[in-house]
Amino acid sequence: MRHRFIAAFASAIALIALPALAETLSAQNNRNQQAAAGPSKPTPRWPNGKPRLSSLPGETGLWNPNGRPLMAEPETDAAIPDGQGRGAFSGPPIAGKPKESEVPFQDWAKALYRWREENLFEPHTRCKPSGGPRQFITPGGTEFFDNPDLQSIYILDQAGPGTYRVIYMDGRPHPADLAPSYYGHSVGHWEGDTLVVDTIGFNERFWIDRQGIPHTEQMHLTERFTRTDHANMRLDLTFDDPGAYTRTWTTGFWIRYNPGREWDEYICQENNKASDLMIGNEDGLVRHSPIIP
């Protein structure tokens, strides 16, 4: 009886610790790859000279986040929940990246953000798509697929709900009658070597980062993707959401290309290793609690 109890207790502890452990191992693996790779190669380009965001022919790889994405790092590690903070690399500094105290939250949005920090029941852990920058903040990585013939760029999310996002590059406007969705409606164009993406039409059923920063259906997001060399891409973000913030605000982070990585089969519910985040916590499960995005 005693041995069975010890085995069950050990299994429970392993299940609770697994998400943070996976994040740590992924970060260490990425650091090792970065050190072994040495200086990065130049930015790959299409025949027309535009930067290529997808892998080269015969090449495999996925993009992973670098550092805490939307806000500057807290002064101490204790301010970051386990497994939710620093990524594989810090990346070069982003000028003007706000601290938490500098994000122009409306009062209700700040209160919701604080609640989410204490209750990390993120929709992503329940196999829901995650729009905006959250799409790039998964240890599983993301992949870009440029399709110049169709004048579109696709962004695929590895180790998530098996969904993809489309960026239309053909000059079309946003539809006038958009139904709110997880990824919204994205149109893009090039400004020099920077891909500028304009997105509206989000629903409110996801978090825009892993810490729980809120948004509303009024959010207008501008993303600027700049692949500075083969291994690194800078993502600058402008949030215009009068429903949740007192003014427009900007931030940014880096993602890093990890060559040799390929897609794994990932069926979200069957492979979900974060059951402690789905509802309740390690102190007890509350199955009747409502799920709040």
Are 176 and 157 within 8 A, CB to CB? Answer: no
In the block, which residue shows the tokens 């309740």?
280
Rounded-to-integer distance, Cα 64 and Cα 219, Å: 25
Q: Which range in 4-13, 17-26, 198-207 is most confidently predicted, on average pLDDT?
A: 198-207
Reported as a pLDDT band with limits 50, 70 and 90, residue 9 is: very low
Which position has the higher pLDDT, 281 or 209? 209
What's the whole-number mean pLDDT along residues 144-168? 89
Confidence of residue 25 (pLDDT cuts 50, 70, 90): very low
The pTM score is 0.78
pLDDT at 23: 44
At residue 250, does pLDDT exceed 60? yes
Asked if residue 249 has pLDDT above 70, the reply is yes
Distance CA 175, CA 203 (A): 15
Neighbours of 87 (CB within 10 A): 23
Contacts of 108 (CB under 8 A, 6+ apart): 244
**pLDDT, averaged across the chain:** 79
Inter-residue contact 245 to 109 (CB < 8 Å): yes
Q: What is the average per-residue pLDDT within 27-34?
A: 50
pLDDT in tens, 55-105: 999 999 999 886 567 888 654 333 333 333 344 445 678 888 999 999 999
Q: What is the pLDDT at residue 275?
A: 59
